[in-house]
Chain A
């Protein structure tokens, strides 16, 4: 089974760029990496998904190095409303199983 690790918490200030890294030591060649955001008392919400190199959407970027043993979620110019827990999700066996990381609690300060 894939084992994923993330920093427990991070602090940032409004307007800064935040990078959160997830380590996934034995991800398989074709497994995808997905990131979710969770606010208190809500279900997780999809942010971005990638397979290799770089993916960008309207809210975030995802960087995946060639060895794919880690991935970095980049949030540009965070605001107070970005305070949440961020989870990486790694699929296994071509999507037959999913493993969430332990989550990173991001606190954005004014």
Chain B
């Protein structure tokens, strides 16, 4: 059974469009995250949610908005897509927030903006 799943796996879209990436975890974890991995394989945290509260919000453009309908889901909505948004986006979850807790990553969503 998949622990952390993301949909879609691939997303190709044009500049200016709005798109969403969905993430679900079946581990019963309290905290979920979104990471961006660029073409050079650098990983950077974007957001995390703990019990529906945003606890980390990196300096990402406000075109990116995380939405968590419940503890098992954290979706990422992106408005007015730009070429620089092309990357692989990873969702992750952990039992608690912050230290001590191993993060479980999803398979990633490769976003290509043309």
Contact = CB atoms under 8 A, between A and B. Distances in A.
A complexed with B: yes
A46 B103 contact: yes
Contacts of B107: 41-43
Interface majority SS (helix, strand, loop, mixed), chain B: loop
Interface string B72-114: 0000000000000000001010000111111111111000000
B30 to A, nearest CB: 13
Q: Give the interface size class of chain A.
A: 20 to 34
Contacts of B44: 100
Contacts of A34: 102
B55 interface: yes
A52 B98 CA distance: 17
Between A30, A44, A85, A87, the greatest number of chain B beta carbons within 10 A of the residue's beta carbon is seen for: A44
Interface majority SS (helix, strand, loop, mixed), chain A: loop
A97 B56 contact: yes
B4 interface: yes
B11 interface: no
Nearest to A97: B56
A81 interface: no
B97 A98 contact: no
B38 to A, nearest CB: 11
B43 interface: yes
Given A42-B107, A43-B92, A44-B105, A102 B42 contact: yes
A95 B43 contact: no
Given A44-B43, A95-B99, A103-B41, 15 more contacts: A30-B99, A42-B108, A43-B90, A43-B106, A43-B108, A44-B103, A44-B105, A46-B102, A91-B99, A95-B101, A96-B56, A97-B58, A98-B56, A100-B43, A102-B41
Q: Which 4 pairs of residues, A with B, have the shortest CB-CB distance?
A: A95-B98, A43-B105, A95-B99, A100-B43
